[in-house]
Amino acid sequence: MLQMKLHYQSTGQGRALVILHGLFGSGDNWKGFAKSLENSARVIMVDIRNHGRSPHSSEQNYQLMADDLAELCQDLNLDSIDLIGHSVGGKMAMAFSESYPQLLNKLMVVDIAPRQYHDRHGKDFNALLAVDLSAYTRRSEVDKVLQFSIPIKTIRQFLLMNLMVDDGKLTWRLNLPALSEHYPELLQAVCQTSHIDIPTCFIRGGLSDYLNDTDEELISQIFSQSQIITIEQANHWVHAEQPQEFIKNVRVFFNYD
């Protein structure tokens, strides 16, 4: 197994609940959620490879990402985990359930299906890679440059959370070149020939088109013990847009009450 020592943060006591963020994110995105559950579980927020404070690698695919999580479980002496994955993290979680079912108690997948997706972020990669960071000293300056290629302010602000100052110079915490190169692999389907009988809950946003009605049959074919819950008035970032409703469903599904 490759040595990919993923960065993680942990809070609370009890059964291990591992959180996997989506593309361009980090474990930091889930701190508020983790705090709300720290009396019910040991919440472990992971930075997936090439994101956050985790190591950079020239390779990126779902099998490697599943192996990364298995290595973390081994390092933390976790023989059974509950697992939540959002978006790309959701596909990583599904790949983990396929390769390491013996390590998984229950699985929650947030607003993503196991199918192939079309390119949604290629333009974002191009915009970020086109910025010459050596020409700027402040995040606000980069924000101004990006407002033409990424006009939606909330998306820019989310992406710019990955911009850090290192030795007085701006740098991306993300491994943008590797993620851009392997982005087509992150769009690929997972678990297509598998039959997984782990209790699984898919949470989708009522305003999101990432997980639609036509995905239900595919999900039921692969995940025999699955349910799909729609949280209305939420888009792709279900946990951030409707946090109380999301947490309520997490508590019920993982039996934290």
Return the active site residues.
Answer: 87, 236
Rounded distance between C-alpha atoms, residue 54 and residue 89, angstroms: 14
* Strand, helix or coil for residue 189: coil
* Strand, helix or coil for residue 85: strand
Torsion sign (Cα): 146, 151, 157, 162: negative
Q: How many residues does the structure list for the chain?
A: 257
CA-closest candidate to residue 88, choices 64, 62, 57, 63: 62
| 62's tokens | 């779902």
Residue 211 to residues 38, 207, 232, 236, 238, Cα–Cα distance (Å): 29, 10, 13, 9, 12
**For residue 242, what is the DSSP state?**
S
* Bridge partner list, 18: 44, 83
* Strand, helix or coil for residue 84: strand
